[in-house]
Structure 1
């Protein structure tokens, strides 16, 4: 199979007759990456992730969990400092994007991105060995992400580094993680999983505009109060350690429906559907 960047299989100018070499280069520079090229770029990243040492994955996942604490912290600052409700509703979600910016641009391991990236090697190889590697990667990333979120939640709950009004904002922002029914949280989580995995799918195509893409997609997640397993875990862990929620609420009201929804949104709506649109082309190149 031709690899991305190897040549004509992904070259739009190759479909045109009577095009000079100079015109071909101009077309290549102006053309958007094809779906097949995006697929192969992400699949290559997925193969690399599956080959990483376990301790490197754990450290990267722990860093991501800690970094996601910035989403609650900055959003809480905005929430506390803006008095007008309408303005607060529009502006505060911008703070939510900060943690994602750090994680994505820092190439830290985030579970919801991993619902897409290693899935493409699995769909490509379709063997038990790859399935086992994906499950191992998911388990390591999820466990280390959650450990990081609980560490941040502990600091926010048991220290006085933030003013009482900021802590009050943390409480206000975090309550939504346990207030919905199982079905409501599940659907909200499907939307979040879809948006974050879609962001991961689009990142190879935008190059220099990656920060803008991250901000836009994660702003929508915050604005819609969609349930994200890692960002939400910071919030819910903070409630638990502040005595405002129980461990059983964390598990049943937040963790289980959010995890299921994120996996469904990421794998089904993005990995499977986006893979489906390029599968015939990919299979043709295999032959």
Structure 2
């Protein structure tokens, strides 16, 4: 096949060239700007809106504990069936992200990029306000749903035992392991958040893939884990001191480091070091829209000229 001097395939119509351009994956700078704008919008929300959305997310994340417990209690014993039961871990994440509720570990990337782009005292204040409100809301929701699942006559004895086993599995880690696994978990969630804007049509698959791997690796997550471990506390098997000092504190620190200080910082540094800046429209979608709106006008002009 012959090619034009500039390497472009000959014989393409303007419509075909436009289609090729639209099918190109967005540049890293466009992804960065898309997530940064989302984070800036979250930083502007008032405290009440953030808290209620975070509380709803905490309650919804109880679906992960519920799904894993139900699957574990109904599947035969064996490592192979545990692999299947781990799919239940994705349930809460799917519901929270698709419902656009506030999840703390998402905000370790989205809300951090505006601060990295403009590191002012005001932006740091907005970030810590967002983190504090969302974290409190998430924990209130997960603790409440764990309490309800234990004390209301909802599940049979076998399922209740499965919930306890899930919490015991988490607490097999010491504080150092909680921290190290939390770093991986925070990094994986940040990777998921970064991938979604470029693959909106595959959003569900991305969420399931990342969170399923988190479950298989027993990586610790502050929100899901708080439901799993607080279930043990409410059942009288674990003191609150261990909940906060062994699980929550190290896991929270690991999630923040993995999501903010590793993934977000490196991603931001990549954009700045390359000098790669987003289009003035802020995203490729805006450019596509302009092109589609211009197309009829150009056609009308040609007809008038003819």
Query: What TM-score comes out, normalization by structure 1 length?
Result: 0.91
Larger Rg: 2
1:161-180 pair list within 5 angstroms: 161-180=154-173
CA drift at 1:229: 0.1
2:75 matched to which residue of 1?
A: 82
Long gaps (5+) in structure 1: 1-14
Moved over 4 A (4+): 15-20, 281-286
Distance 1:234 1:282, change over 3 A: farther
Contact 1:112–1:263 (CA under 8 A) maintained in structure 2: yes
Contact 2:33–2:278 (CA under 8 A) maintained in structure 1: no
Deviations 1:125-184 (A, max 9, x none): 111110100000000000000000110111122122100000000011111232211111
Provide the rounded CA distance (Å) in 2 between the counterparts of 1:284 and 1:105. Answer: 29
Secondary structure of 1:87 counterpart: helix
2:187 matched to which residue of 1?
A: 194
1:259 aligns with 2:261: no
Provide the rounded CA distance (Å) in 2 between the counterparts of 1:24 and 1:232. Answer: 49
Contact 1:178–1:249 (CA under 8 A) maintained in structure 2: no
Deviations 1:226-275 (A, max 9, x none): 00000000011111011011100101110010000000100122101111
Provide the rounded CA distance (Å) in 2 between the counterparts of 1:72 and 1:40. Answer: 34
* Alignment RMSD: 1.9
2:84 matched to which residue of 1?
A: 91
Instruction: Give 2:216's match in structure 1, choosing from 219, 223, 228.
Output: 223
1:11 matched to which residue of 2?
A: none
Contact 1:36–1:281 (CA under 8 A) maintained in structure 2: no
2:232 matched to which residue of 1?
A: 239
Query: What TM-score comes out, normalization by structure 2 length?
Result: 0.85
Instruction: Give 1:46's match in structure 2, choosing from 16, 39, 44.
Output: 39
Contact 2:29–2:276 (CA under 8 A) maintained in structure 1: no
1:149 matched to which residue of 2?
A: 142
Distance 1:85 1:141, change over 3 A: same
2:273 matched to which residue of 1?
A: 280
Provide the rounded CA distance (Å) in 1 between the counterparts of 2:270 and 2:162. Answer: 44
1:31 matched to which residue of 2?
A: 24
Provide the rounded CA distance (Å) in 2 between the counterparts of 1:284 and 1:187. Answer: 34
2:283 matched to which residue of 1?
A: none
CA drift at 1:22: 2.8
Answer with 25-34 or 124-133: which moved more: 25-34
- How many residues are aligned here? 273
Contact 1:149–1:234 (CA under 8 A) maintained in structure 2: yes
Provide the rounded CA distance (Å) in 1 between the counterparts of 2:277 and 2:45. Answer: 30
Instruction: Give 1:271's match in structure 2, choosing from 264, 268, 271.
Output: 264
